């Protein structure tokens, strides 16, 4: 994995692996590490909500 930080008007981290790449906006006033950890937490929270919604859709599909 490679991580490149781009600092400017809009700072972001470019994360690259063999099979994926991702740009993550960095929060002003926070270290890159702290900002990336907070982004990961936010993404996991959103993913958990989406999984719950997907479960509801599957359950509803059985009732129609």
Question: Domain locations in the chain?
Answer: 2-63
Instruction: State pLDDT tens for residues 31-57.
Output: 999 999 999 999 999 999 999 999 999
| Mean pLDDT calculated for residue range 18-38 | 97
Name the region of 59 (left: φ>0; alpha: ψ -120 to 50; beta: rest).
Answer: alpha
Are β-strands 2-6 and 21-25 bridged in parallel, bridged antiparallel, or unpaired?
unpaired
Asked if 11 contacts 23 with a C-beta cutoff of 8 angstroms, the reply is no
**Cα(48)–Cα(54) distance, integer angstroms:** 10
Supply the pTM of this predicted model.
Answer: 0.86
């Amino acid at each position: 994995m490679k991580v490149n930080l781009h600092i400017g008007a809009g700072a972001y981290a470019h994360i690259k692996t063999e099979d994926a790449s991702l740009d993550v906006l960095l929060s002003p006033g926070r270290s890159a590490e702290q900002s990336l950890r907070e982004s990961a937490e936010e993404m996991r929270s959103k993913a958990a909500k989406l999984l719950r919604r997907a479960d509801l859709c599957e359950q509803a599909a059985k009732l129609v």
